[in-house]
Amino acid sequence: MAEKITKRDKDYSQWYLDIVQHAGLAENSDVRGCMVIKPHGFAIWENIQRALDRMFKDTGHVNAYFPLFIPKSFLTKEEEMAEGFAKECAVVTHYRLKTMAGKGVQVDPEAKLEEELIIRPTSETIIWNTYRNWIQSYRDLPLLINQWCNVVRWEMRTRLFLRTAEFLWQEGHTAHATQAEAEEETRKILEVYRSFAEDWMAMPVLTGPKSEGQKFPGAVYTLCIEAMMQDKRALQAGTSHFLGQNFAKAFDVKFQNQAGQLEHAWATSWGVSTRLVGGLIMTHSDDQGLVLPPRLAPIHAVIVPIFRKAEEKAAVCAAAQQLAAAIRSLPPDPWLNYEPWSIKVDDREQYQPGFKFNEWEVKGVPIRVELGPKDLASNACVLARRDLPGKEAKEMGVPLASAPERITTLLKEMQSKLVERARAFRDANTLEVNSYDDFKKKLEEPGGFLWAHWDGTRETENQISQETKATIRCIPFSRAKEPGKCMVTGKPSEGRVVFAKAY
């Protein structure tokens, strides 16, 4: 398998698709733009969901479910939203098929909907239409609701996980009695996303607002987490929107405040999607295949018993199962949200150890345990870490008795190492530029995140993106107050913003 994976420096795009294919993560379906998420890819998404869902609940949120369909008229109620989403929607116009003699199945022209239904591209409209009945008084607030679901945006150019017509995501929709509380929520969720990205995905992110040109249609402002992929392009990994009273006004959601006056509710919405799986792949993987941060790996360690003769097999397989059981019965670890360690024993007979080593390497299992008759004779095993090259990866003669502890220690080390490595990569590919000429040059070579002064206007932003394909990814919270001049117009700027080419 590994020999079929295109090298990153040869063709990064193809490398990505090769990883997705060979690691068994996803594939294109026969429905244009829609993907099939295969079991190994879906298991990663399940781990993402589990960790995030717990973080949402720990911050007081609950889950609910709203309809897939949105009446067409809802989309027009919030003006900016209508502009932003009306272009790329799947539209349901009929509700029945009928069998026509000799012609197969046809849409029944008599079953036309009075009002067309849109497959949700995001659910602000249907949810705020529902909230109208839920919110009467300040006592009903805040509403802190999240939904895990599928959404559809009719994208013309799709790429597995990164941009697909249908994708899976979570969308939080909260309602608050005051602006301050809604803004606090917007930031609180951004911090949840930042911490999830860095602590679970081992993917360092910049945090801060988007520019006006890049914000969510319908938001007052959008906060984002923004990551750098290995080709130095940016990936928007999660967004948290402060919606002001825009949707409350559009859907007439008013409550009686403590002073007895009617007021429109304040809103936030926020989401991350299966795009994160793409980000995970492009942050850590290498030319041999997938590399996964251990906290999100569907399998933490694979034990490969090595044997030639039948009499060897029984003994090494028994020892392998025993070791697996010992790891699984370690005390629950908060590092893994008290979930059990996931250990696989690969005792398939039809494949040679070399084939198995390669398969699990491509699939990104963090630790491989080799266990042969000689190891067993000395009550030991060999450990190999997925993230280190060649001999560095191996630990020989690890006593079986201490192997469970050693394996979990290595998993934690690997998790830290991956985020350090990714951070070092990002920092090494971050530059300050001071002139537009230099900007255009550096954007092509070496590329990366370019910190530059900008005059804050939409016009300049548009000009830069049209001329260079770079966009403002983030106005980082961490930026220094540094008076300067816009690299394009020379007008004053309060500080640098981050430009990059992006997915």
Contact 124, 218 (CB under 8 A): yes
Q: Which is nearer to a copy of itself, 274 or 493 (CB)?
A: 274
Decide the pairing of beta strands 343-345 and 496-500. unpaired
**Rounded least distance, CB 199 to a copy of itself, Å:** 21
Contact 460, 423 (CB under 8 A): no
**Rounded least distance, CB 171 to a copy of itself, Å:** 14
Q: Which is nearer to a copy of itself, 94 or 458 (CB)?
A: 94
- Is residue 99 at the binding interface for a copy of itself, with CB under 8 A as the rule? yes
- Is residue 70 at the binding interface for a copy of itself, with CB under 8 A as the rule? yes
Residue with tokens 């039809």: 350
Q: Which is nearer to a copy of itself, 248 or 488 (CB)?
A: 248
**Rounded least distance, CB 27 to a copy of itself, Å:** 8
In the chain, what is the straight-line distance between the N-terminal and C-terminal CA atoms, in Å?
27
Q: Which of these ranges, 70-78, 308-316, 389-397, 427-435, lies near a copy of itself under the rule CB under 8 A?
A: 70-78
Among 13, 14, 63, 409, binds a copy of itself (CB under 8 A): 63
- Is residue 2 at the binding interface for a copy of itself, with CB under 8 A as the rule? no
Helices (H), 343-397: 353-362, 373-377
Dihedrals φ, ψ of 171, to 5°? Answer: -130, 120
Q: Which of these ranges, 148-156, 213-221, 233-241, 282-290, lies near a copy of itself under the rule CB under 8 A?
A: 148-156
Contacts (CB under 8 A) with a copy of itself, residues 341-360? 350
Q: What is the chain's Cα-based Rg?
A: 26
Site track 173-202 with a copy of itself (rule: CB under 8 A), x = hit: ------------------------------
Sign of CA dihedral 86, 87, 92, 93: positive
Spatial distance between the Cα atoms of 47 and 202, rounded to a whole number of angstroms:
14
Instruction: Report which secondary-structure segment, H or E, holds 472.
Output: strand 471-474
- Is residue 330 at the binding interface for a copy of itself, with CB under 8 A as the rule? no
Q: Which of these ranges, 15-23, 143-151, 177-185, 188-196, lies near a copy of itself under the rule CB under 8 A?
A: 143-151
Spatial distance between the Cα atoms of 231 and 164, rounded to a whole number of angstroms:
20
Amino acid at 70: I
- Is residue 154 at the binding interface for a copy of itself, with CB under 8 A as the rule? yes
For residue 122, which of 336, 267, 302 has the smallest C-alpha distance? 267
Instruction: Report which secondary-structure segment, H or E, holds 159.
Output: none
Contacts (CB under 8 A) with a copy of itself, residues 408-467? none
275-284 and 12-22 are packed helices; what angle lies between their axes, rounded to 10 degrees?
110
Q: Which is nearer to a copy of itself, 75 or 398 (CB)?
A: 75
- Tell me, by CB under 8 A, how many residues bind a copy of itself: 65
- Is residue 29 at the binding interface for a copy of itself, with CB under 8 A as the rule? yes
Q: Which is nearer to a copy of itself, 76 or 379 (CB)?
A: 76
Cα 333 off chain centre by: 24
- Is residue 76 at the binding interface for a copy of itself, with CB under 8 A as the rule? yes
Instruction: Report which secondary-structure segment, H or E, holds 147.
Output: strand 143-152
Among 39, 399, 446, 492, binds a copy of itself (CB under 8 A): 39
**Rounded least distance, CB 91 to a copy of itself, Å:** 4
Give whole-number Cα distances, 224 to 65, 111, 139, 375, in Å.
Answer: 25, 43, 30, 50
For residue 168, which of 24, 255, 49 has the smallest C-alpha distance? 49
Cα 457 off chain centre by: 30
Spatial distance between the Cα atoms of 257 and 246, rounded to a whole number of angstroms:
18
- Is residue 137 at the binding interface for a copy of itself, with CB under 8 A as the rule? no
- Is residue 231 at the binding interface for a copy of itself, with CB under 8 A as the rule? no
- Is residue 292 at the binding interface for a copy of itself, with CB under 8 A as the rule? no
SS3 488: coil
- Is residue 406 at the binding interface for a copy of itself, with CB under 8 A as the rule? no
Sign of CA dihedral 87, 269, 128, 149: positive
Q: Which is nearer to a copy of itself, 116 or 212 (CB)?
A: 116
**Rounded least distance, CB 94 to a copy of itself, Å:** 4
**Rounded least distance, CB 65 to a copy of itself, Å:** 4
Which residues are within 8 A (CB) of 307 and not within 5 positions of it... i.e. 6 or more apart?
313, 316, 317, 372, 373
* Ramachandran bin of 126, using left for φ above 0, alpha for ψ from -120 to 50, beta for the remaining angles: alpha
Contact 224, 239 (CB under 8 A): yes
For residue 118, which of 148, 161, 77, 173 has the smallest C-alpha distance? 77
Q: Which is nearer to a copy of itself, 166 or 370 (CB)?
A: 166
- Is residue 118 at the binding interface for a copy of itself, with CB under 8 A as the rule? yes
**Rounded least distance, CB 198 to a copy of itself, Å:** 26
- Is residue 93 at the binding interface for a copy of itself, with CB under 8 A as the rule? yes
- Is residue 326 at the binding interface for a copy of itself, with CB under 8 A as the rule? no
- Is residue 281 at the binding interface for a copy of itself, with CB under 8 A as the rule? no
Among 66, 193, 247, 357, binds a copy of itself (CB under 8 A): 66
Residues that bind a copy of itself (CB under 8 A): 27, 29-31, 34-39, 42-43, 45-46, 62-73, 75-76, 82-83, 86-99, 104-105, 107, 116-119, 126, 129-130, 133, 139, 145, 149-150, 152, 154, 166, 168, 332, 350
